């Protein structure tokens, strides 16, 4: 099993574990599991891993739950040969966010050419966020499931206050629900899943 296959398998294990444990509270998680079971690996032709990504992955504490630690290990191993993107390259006034927030696509529609696998039913992303960084309120048409893989951060949804979420926490964001993440002393590594409207984009509120 190469590093790409190991990464997809580790992500699938995290999603499947939470489907079994939290199925009633995670809408469409079954769709994500089905997607991860059926996709075929498409190795990316281009890799791009800023040095900052490797530094953040090395600095984040490993979670205690084995399936989360397994995914973090797989991300660390594969990171140098993945294509990490700046989703807010079109926002020149967001220098801090652009310098400290990175995304790579594990599964996506064919419009996301950097994905490791293609699927039209669900998209799966990995995100890395630097310490002491606010990812401000943003929203998108796609319904979203988020899992904190490593690092404890504060999460906000809609008008609710920020709430501390440790590794293993799952967050549900319906379409156009504003949400934000504020890191503390640790980086944050998270898994994001979109289950419809896969080609929509996130916009800052």
Return all residues near 60 (Cβ < 8 A) that are at least 6 apart: 72, 150, 151, 186, 187, 188, 189
Spatial distance between the Cα atoms of 178 and 60, rounded to a whole number of angstroms: 26
pLDDT value, residue 42 = 84
Neighbours of 132 (CB within 10 A): 12
23: pLDDT strictly greater than 60: no
102: pLDDT strictly greater than 90: yes
What band does 111 get if pLDDT is binned at 50, 70 and 90? confident
Mean pLDDT in residue range 51-67:
97
Domains in the chain, please, with CATH?
A: 3-198 (2.60.120.10)
Lowest mean pLDDT among 22-31, 55-64, 66-75: 22-31
Phi first, then psi: give them for residue 134, nearest 5 degrees. -95, 120
What band does 31 get if pLDDT is binned at 50, 70 and 90? confident
Q: For helices 3-22 and 29-38, what crossing angle results, to 10°?
A: 150
Tens of pLDDT, residues 82-97: 999 999 988 888 999 9
- The average confidence (pLDDT) of the chain is 92
Phi first, then psi: give them for residue 3, nearest 5 degrees. -65, -30
pLDDT value, residue 196 = 93
Mean pLDDT in residue range 65-86:
96
């Amino acid at each position: 099993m190469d590093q790409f296959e190991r990464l997809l398998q580790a992500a699938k294990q995290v999603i499947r574990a939470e489907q079994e444990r939290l199925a009633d509270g995670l809408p469409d998680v079954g769709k994500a599991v089905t997607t991860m079971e059926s996709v075929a690996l498409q190795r990316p032709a281009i890799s791009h891993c800023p040095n900052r990504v490797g530094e953040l992955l090395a600095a984040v504490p490993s979670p205690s739950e084995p399936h989360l630690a397994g995914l973090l290990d797989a991300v660390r191993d594969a990171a140098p040969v993945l294509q990490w993107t700046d989703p807010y390259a079109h926002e020149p006034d967001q220098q801090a966010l652009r310098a400290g927030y990175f995304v790579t696509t594990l599964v996506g529609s064919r419009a996301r050419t950097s994905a490791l696998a293609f699927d039209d039913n669900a998209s799966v992303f990995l995100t890395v966020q630097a310490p002491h960084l606010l990812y401000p309120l943003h929203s998108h048409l796609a319904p979203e499931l988020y899992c904190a893989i490593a690092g404890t951060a504060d999460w906000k949804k809609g008008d609710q206050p920020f709430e501390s979420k440790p590794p293993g926490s799952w967050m549900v964001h319906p379409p156009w629900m504003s949400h934000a993440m504020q890191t503390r002393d640790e980086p944050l590594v998270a898994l994001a899943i979109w289950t419809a409207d896969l080609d929509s984009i996130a916009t800052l509120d």
